[in-house]
Amino acid sequence: MDSKNFRQISEVLLLGLSKDPEIQHLIFGLFLSMYLANVLGNLLIILATISDFHLHTPMYFFLSNLSFVDICFTSTTVPKMLVNIQIQSKATTYAGCIVQIYFFTLFVGLENFLLAVMAYDRYVAICHPLHYMVIMNPRLCGLLVLVSWITSALNSLLQSLMTLRLSFCTDVEIPHFFCEPNQLVYLACSDTFLNNTVLYLVAGLLGVGPLTGILYSYCKIISSIRAISSAQGKCKAFSTCASHFSVVSLFYCTLLGVYLSSSIAQNAHSSATASGMYSVVTPMLNPFIYSLRNKDIKSALRRLFCEEIIKEPMLVGL
């Protein structure tokens, strides 16, 4: 197409999950409930790990970081969608769309890296228990989280700059509830070969790399568990990584489902629904998965609430 037909846009229309007003009200209530549950659940895990010295271990240090990322991850997309439904507007500025892409990519990358780091932590705990505290020292834990942040931030910056080079022939209508990078590239009129090349290359390096690390860690974990003679020992070892394995399975199954389905067929509705699964539902379920099967978290939350209940009458008396 002739380059004179290309133009830069000032706003983007987010079509959302449905055009039906009644269904939109249902979606508003559903997503608001899930967002509040996500924020409350993850905040409780962060408060529990900070307040209880029993939880000042590498495993819970990584878990509190994951909870913080989950809150930020959902906050990148859901509040804007709720506001759009409330004011009956589908428009967002192009600059706001690019900012949303930056933070969305940042927190997807962080979720990916932190799950890989947590898998490595479980690998060391089960396969090298006697050297666990030596290997997973505070310096290494901090370094792993720092590298995850830096790598994800650089990737997000690259993806945002690549999106800025796109040009469009008409007004952009994204059949989604947020500015999904793949959808924006698909709607561009300018040459997107470089964008697609960078997108899939980075996805291969930063996506397949951590996933390979997770699979390798669990292969070693399963091998070590099978070598344990007693059934009680096997159950105890398995229970230490069951919650993490559940979260990993939920996150990667929905994430891979989105990008595999979008590469096979451009089904916007199914892609938007699947994106909602890994960007909203999974972060909401993470605190429940970790707290319901974790005695340490439940004990820390009980102590936290008991202290608050005891303090309140004392403050009233004073």
CATH number at residue 91: 1.20.1070.10
| pTM for the full predicted model | 0.87
Residue 317 has pLDDT above 70, yes or no: no
In the block, which residue shows the tokens 């409330």? 86
3 domain-assigned: no
User: H/E element holding 12?
Assistant: strand 11-14
250 domain-assigned: yes
Mean pLDDT of the region 153-159: 93
b/e code 49-58 from CB counts within 10 Å (16+ = b): beebeebebb
227 domain-assigned: yes
Residues 6+ apart with CB under 8 A from 254: 274, 277, 278, 281, 282
Percent of all residues in the chain with a pLDDT value above 90, rounded to a whole number: 31
Domain that holds residue 308: 10-317
5 domain-assigned: no
SS3 11: strand
Q: What does the pLDDT read at residue 109? A: 92
**Are 217 and 119 in contact, with CB atoms under 8 Å apart?**
yes
Highest mean pLDDT (candidates 131-140, 165-174, 245-254, 261-270): 131-140
81 domain-assigned: yes
118 domain-assigned: yes
Question: Cα-flanking dihedrals φ and ψ of residue 114, to 5°?
Answer: -65, -35
β partners of residue 174: 14
b/e code 189-212 from CB counts within 10 Å (16+ = b): ebebeebeeebeebeeebbeebbe
161 domain-assigned: yes
Mean pLDDT of the region 149-154: 95
154 domain-assigned: yes
Euclidean distance between CA atoms 91 and 108, whole angstroms? 24
Domain tally, the chain: 1
Euclidean distance between CA atoms 172 and 16, whole angstroms? 13
Q: What does the pLDDT read at residue 316? A: 46
Mean pLDDT of the region 189-218: 86
Percent of all residues in the chain with a pLDDT value above 70, rounded to a whole number: 87
